[in-house]
Amino acid sequence: MIHSVAILGASGYTGAELVRIIATHPSLRIAALSADRKAGMQMADVFPHLRHLDLPTLTTIDQIDFDEIELVFCALPHGLSQALVRDLPRSVKVVDLGADFRLRDPADYKKWYGLDHAAPELQPEAVYGLTEFYRDEIRGARLVAGTGCNAATVQFALRPLIEGALIDLDDIICDLKNGISGAGRSLKENMLFPERSTDVIGYSLGGKHRHLGEFDQEFSKIAGRKVEIMFTPNLVPINRGIHAACYVKGDPQAIHAALAARYADEPFIVVLPFGQAPGTGHVAGSNFCHIGVIGDRKPGRALVISTLDNLNKGSSGQAVQNANLMLGLPETEGLMLAPVFP
Amino acid sequence: MIHSVAILGASGYTGAELVRIIATHPSLRIAALSADRKAGMQMADVFPHLRHLDLPTLTTIDQIDFDEIELVFCALPHGLSQALVRDLPRSVKVVDLGADFRLRDPADYKKWYGLDHAAPELQPEAVYGLTEFYRDEIRGARLVAGTGCNAATVQFALRPLIEGALIDLDDIICDLKNGISGAGRSLKENMLFPERSTDVIGYSLGGKHRHLGEFDQEFSKIAGRKVEIMFTPNLVPINRGIHAACYVKGDPQAIHAALAARYADEPFIVVLPFGQAPGTGHVAGSNFCHIGVIGDRKPGRALVISTLDNLNKGSSGQAVQNANLMLGLPETEGLMLAPVFP
Amino acid sequence: MIHSVAILGASGYTGAELVRIIATHPSLRIAALSADRKAGMQMADVFPHLRHLDLPTLTTIDQIDFDEIELVFCALPHGLSQALVRDLPRSVKVVDLGADFRLRDPADYKKWYGLDHAAPELQPEAVYGLTEFYRDEIRGARLVAGTGCNAATVQFALRPLIEGALIDLDDIICDLKNGISGAGRSLKENMLFPERSTDVIGYSLGGKHRHLGEFDQEFSKIAGRKVEIMFTPNLVPINRGIHAACYVKGDPQAIHAALAARYADEPFIVVLPFGQAPGTGHVAGSNFCHIGVIGDRKPGRALVISTLDNLNKGSSGQAVQNANLMLGLPETEGLMLAPVFP
Amino acid sequence: MIHSVAILGASGYTGAELVRIIATHPSLRIAALSADRKAGMQMADVFPHLRHLDLPTLTTIDQIDFDEIELVFCALPHGLSQALVRDLPRSVKVVDLGADFRLRDPADYKKWYGLDHAAPELQPEAVYGLTEFYRDEIRGARLVAGTGCNAATVQFALRPLIEGALIDLDDIICDLKNGISGAGRSLKENMLFPERSTDVIGYSLGGKHRHLGEFDQEFSKIAGRKVEIMFTPNLVPINRGIHAACYVKGDPQAIHAALAARYADEPFIVVLPFGQAPGTGHVAGSNFCHIGVIGDRKPGRALVISTLDNLNKGSSGQAVQNANLMLGLPETEGLMLAPVFP
């Protein structure tokens, strides 16, 4: 059976990645594509790499007949999904790739995003979209809130360690190296090629990055107490990829064992042999996450490194994985594309 | 029905790309992988991006039981395939990705590659692997000789124009911009990251590049007279992609019409609307080739641009496309992966 | 003696390159920096790599006291310099890095730039700033019009050949590979890092690029007849550099000899031994231009390759070289900085 | 007065950077260049970007007449300088860019580099070449041991904090992002362009990197107790630059004040305003080091970021700075070249 889906915000990078994945997904059909500012254009003109596909013309959201749509992927700038989802027919399932429904408490949304929640009555039914940890809830959900790409990367490294009480909760430092596509396709001077191609620089430093809202929510919930990590994202000149180096206090071998056990049956999370380091180049273009654990010369210190493709496993791949569950399809369907290297 | 294949030379980039493609190919199974210098290693240690796959351990070629193999992909350095193929059981089909069987005349092989042909008795049965132009012969072949990656790119642009007598055969200039993966994984000082990452430079200039042997052979055959193009490859700092700018004398509109007509039913060759330029970024990671035609302010001059991914459509994708035909499978099976952008 | 200069348009890449060069120039002092939209900011905040310098605060042009300024560098978007220069005190010398005074005939300016010339009465006194060919006129000029960066690169390759009647004027094809900084610091979607970092694509194709106005003007003047070249710029993912491959009909050895003779005494133009190819990485960050000549297997065909740094020799370095002449300083002063590799 | 210098190991990246710097240094003259495997070649063929310079032909070390040399820069692979320096005339001053004399205790050299020290009798006179902290000793030294590039970057961030007892010595974590030129010009598969251009990956993890020998030596000496930092270098696809993110426990404002005070009079160390982050792109090609301090939302935690160009301030620039002192020249002579951006 083929399921009809719509992609809202199809002119951004996560929108394009959804189209790329669905292009070879056997059970999904793209019935509508929206892009407000580029409505009326062909996808081939917005993203020439998708030129070989037979795709609907870009429209405004208003022009979509949602009666024909079983599931909607919202790849919109944050702040736009809440009212939109509220007004959709209840029969339409929603996977939101943005930040609008990630935080359980509307007050947290206000704190981190500076906006009043436009649909607080919907928030309780939104399921947090970290598939490997919310699989059962996602299966039955109407509304799934995709995670932040950084938030996914770091949680894959740390959740089992917090659950297992294996690390000191007051001394967690996460230093990330982030591909530039994470900034999206919007026009910013500091995202021009010459600005980024030879530079490495941190941003949203000192506890200001919005994904901290997700970390605080999830880690505190697991730990049963307040947990605040240090979190530093850094721009590096690659297109796709997040490399999260998580410095923790705990026994490296026990940490490795816990991660290996937790993810043994997960199709997309690969824990490397102890001591091996994962690289972003080994997951780019795919829905896989590689995790490595390295012990330090200082006893009781470990480095847990998690890498994934921000556009895929960190966003659009996760979204399709969740959609598969929501539609009763095999979870891995359409997602076993191997990483592209070199 | 699943067909068992072997990949010889699996530790190089085209070998890895074959594995990547076959990973989601529904009808092929990798039964053996060879890599002489890395025999005994796991593919996960040679190419960590393939870690999620269940693959055979790398072996030497001698260790492979070819009775279990239906088709062999040879991704070996040139000069090694001729003797090897000669000694294989006749029941095994062969797709050679190297240069050993590309040139019809062993004297040409000697001229361009400096080696005596080690299996001249096999040469007559080798079919030149440019699928879109040798499809019928490939279907029935036991031995297919993959084209050079540059050779494929330029021929897609020029063959229909020579066939149609649409251009001046004495004034064809092809200026290529080539991704670095085309140089393979071998150790050369000028292929180190710092040497290449900020440089653009030509190589094998002035009529020395070996792919000229293919151009001369094919274009002269089509034209029924000697045709010699000017051909300049240039290294540019991208991993994947060839951008061939072909300057020809002829009517731009007629040229566009001929290309559009010739490729109208081809699944992997996309001719852009007149005047549009294709980019390497729009085909990377895929088996697609994009072709654009631009008229000049000078009447009777045209620029025909052809772009493809050297590792995929220029090599391993073409090889799988040919293998599909040789095995009686749908030609596009496993090859509809969309390009990866950004 | 120290000469006071102003840089108008200091927040763009050529403005920054002027500051970088002048930072170690013994005879120039930056007395004023303008940047209309960023007036009031410190240069350290606009270009942190210049943080160690003691520079004036950015102002609007109106705020500059031109009585204190001996020479002005105009690094403004085209269309803004004409009226501005008209209104400057006659005592101020001007080096314009933009296109406003490059074309001798205001009708040509209108044709290529779509604007009426705002100061046609000034045009006659503007000297075309290709230093190596207009040195004497530049020495005595009040107003020098810097060349286009592509225009400089190609002219260094071709002028001596046209002057020497060494090539067929009706068959000149120039295929350029261009660094992204040439597009400037303005916000365009197709200049974002993810759009450019893995792509090679042509632009302004088919005779539309504005630098053709300069080629037509200069080459026709030298030849004494109309000369129209084919000219194709292509974006490649490097910051700095233009690699111009010029395909000509003529005797390669004679061409090399003519270039070697013409540039033997030029401090910044280096002609490589016959058959060697120059690369953009070998001139980046410097005021040098490297030229190579390669013969083809087809007799009477030659490839002349010219490379330079578009921001430096193609723009700001040329500007300082001209300013040196206009101020009576040694031509090479401050400009012998070696290229930066890797 | 002009001082004659020799560069041993001129065919590597630090050798080339020495030549680049000295090219515009008013008081140094390159009298000899050695490169054992490339002896007999011209520098223009080994490093075409230096083609405009009039340089001696590359020779073996044996062929150099050291009586004509006042100072030698040794840019050799580690393990080769010790015996070499031992056999030089005592009249020749030496700046060693390698690791051979960095560690005070020959046992430490053995521990970290696996070799017996070949000239332990010379070790006591070797001065550690971190100019800003050993200036007086360097002025009078005959033999200066250049620091590791990572070692310099991190020490600039941490030394004043350890001296000032401002941070917890048991919880220092340094996560570095390293440009690829740091790996040198030697042939390694994992340094090929396609391997590095889209990858971010850690190396020498868990306390194995040899620069830890320097950190342990220097930080323990300052603190008067054993100090062991956690130190993780990561390869990122830039040519030049080290970005060291140092996570410390201490008061951010006090840390910033201490750094600002310590470096107020240093010509090459720039401390940014509190809260600002430095980038590698802002120091590339120069002898400058930028340092930023960011406070965290967690009180008592700070991030100190130090960036420099590994080939310049981290190696060859530091070497010239030290040579200036040893030769009685102004410390900044020849080193005020501004960073190259973009």
The whole-angstrom separation of Cα C14 and Cα A20 is: 39
Q: How many angstroms separate the CA atoms of A289 and A304, rounded? A: 13
What DSSP designation does C130 have? -
C300 reaches B (C-beta below 8 A): no
Low-confidence ranges of chain C (pLDDT < 70): none
Partners of B192 on chain D (C-beta within 8 Å) are 180, 185, 187, 191-193
Contact B14, B75 (CB under 8 A): yes
At A143, is the secondary structure helix, strand, or coil?
strand
Contact call for C47 and D337, based on CB within 8 A: no
The residue of chain B nearest to residue C180, with distances taken between CA atoms, is: B198
3-class SS at C185? coil
How far from chain centre, in Å, is Cα D222? 20
Check whether the bond before A278 is cis (ω within 30° of 0). Answer: no
Closest-CA residue of chain C to B178 = C200
Report whether D61 contacts D36 (CB < 8 A): yes
Q: Which residue of B has its CA nearest to D235?
A: B193
Tell me the torsion sign for CA atoms D19, D77, D108, D165. Answer: positive
Asked if the peptide bond before residue D342 counts as cis, ω within 30 degrees of 0, the response is: yes
pLDDT tens profile A290-333: 999 999 999 999 999 999 999 999 999 999 999 999 999 999 99
Question: Other CB atoms closer than 10 Å to residue C91's CB: what's the count?
Answer: 10
The answer to whether the CB of B72 falls within 8 A of the CB of B10 is no
pLDDT tens-digit readout, C171-182: 999 999 999 999
Instruction: State how far the Cα of B94 lies from the Cα of B323, in Å rounded to an integer.
Output: 8
Q: Which residues of B touch A43 (CB under 8 A)?
A: none
Predicted confidence (pLDDT) at residue A1 exceeds the cutoff of 90: no
Among partner residues A195, A247, A282, which is closest to D173 by beta-carbon distance? Answer: A247
Beta strands in A206-282 (DSSP E): 230-235, 242-249, 269-271
Q: How many CB atoms lie within 10 A of CB A67?
A: 8
**pTM, whole model, 2 decimals?**
0.98
pLDDT by residue (tens digit) across B73-124? 999 998 999 999 999 999 999 999 999 999 999 999 999 999 999 999 999 9
Average pLDDT over residues B164-173: 98
Per-residue pLDDT of chain D (342 residues; tens, 9 = 90+): 899 999 999 999 999 999 999 999 999 999 999 999 999 999 999 999 999 999 999 999 999 999 999 999 999 998 999 999 999 999 999 999 999 999 999 999 999 999 999 999 999 999 999 999 999 999 999 999 999 999 999 999 999 999 999 999 999 999 999 999 999 999 999 999 999 999 999 999 999 999 999 999 999 999 999 999 999 999 999 999 999 999 999 999 999 999 999 999 999 999 999 999 999 999 999 999 999 999 999 999 999 999 999 999 999 999 999 999 999 999 999 999 999 999
Token pair, residue B277, equals 């330029």
pLDDT band, very low/low/confident/very high, at A269 (cuts 50, 70, 90): very high
B321-342 per-position pLDDT tens digit: 999 999 999 999 999 999 999 9
B-chain residues near A279 (CB < 8 A): 48
Residue C256 has a pLDDT of 98
Tell me whether A342 touches chain C (CB under 8 Å). Answer: no
Report the helix count and the strand count for chain A, using DSSP H and E: 10, 14
Nearest-neighbour CA in chain C from D282: distance (Å):
4
A198–C13 C-beta distance less than 8 A: no
Q: What is the tens place of the pLDDT at every residue in A7-31?
A: 999 999 999 999 999 999 999 999 9
Q: Which pLDDT value is given to residue C34?
A: 98
B297 touches chain C (CB under 8 A): yes
How many residue contacts between A and B have a Cβ separation below 8 Å?
A: 90
**pLDDT cut 90: percent of chain A above it:** 99
Phi, psi (rounded to 5 degrees) for C230: -90, 135
Extract the tokens encoding D308.
């420099």
Q: Chain B closest CA to A174's CA: distance in Å? A: 23
Q: Cα–chain-centroid distance for residue D341?
A: 21
Q: How far is CA A306 from the centre of its chain?
A: 13
The kind and range of the H/E element at B32 are strand B28-34
User: pLDDT tens digit string along A77-112?
Assistant: 989 999 999 999 999 999 999 999 999 999 999 999
Asked whether the beta carbons of B212 and B103 are under 8 A apart, the reply is no
Tell me the shortest Cα–Cα distance from B285 to chain A, in angstroms. 7
Q: How far apart are CA D4 and CA D71, in angstroms?
A: 7
Is the minimum CB–CB distance between C199 and chain B shorter than 8 Å? yes
D171 close to D248: Cβ distance less than 8 angstroms: yes
Cα B56 from Cα B65, distance rounded (Å): 13
Q: What is the pLDDT of residues A29-80, one digit of tens each?
A: 999 999 999 999 999 999 999 999 999 999 999 999 999 999 999 999 989 9
Active-site residue list of D: 149
Q: Chains meeting C at 3+ CB pairs closer than 8 A?
A: A, B, D
Closest CA to A1 of A32, A25, A21, A35: A25
DSSP structure class, residue A64:
-
Q: What is the pLDDT of residues B301-322, one digit of tens each?
A: 999 999 999 999 999 999 999 9
- ∠ CA(D306), CA(D312), CA(D314), 5° rounding? 45
> Chain A to chain C, count of Cβ pairs less than 8 Å apart?
54
- Please name each of the domains of chain A with its CATH number: 3-146+313-326 (3.40.50.720), 150-309 (3.30.360.10)
CB contact under 8 A, B270 and A338: no
| D245/A206 touch (CB, cutoff 8 Å), yes or no | no
Residue C1: the pLDDT is: 86
- DSSP labels, B258-312: HHHHHTTT-SSEEEPPTT----GGGTTTSS-EEEEEEE-SSTTEEEEEEEE-TTI
On chain C, the residues whose CB falls within 8 A of the CB of B294 are: 202, 205-206
Search chain A and give the residue with CA nearest C189.
A187
SS3 A127: strand
D300 — contact with chain A (CB < 8 Å)? no
Mind telling me the catalytic residues of A?
Answer: 149
- The pLDDT value recorded for residue C176 is 98
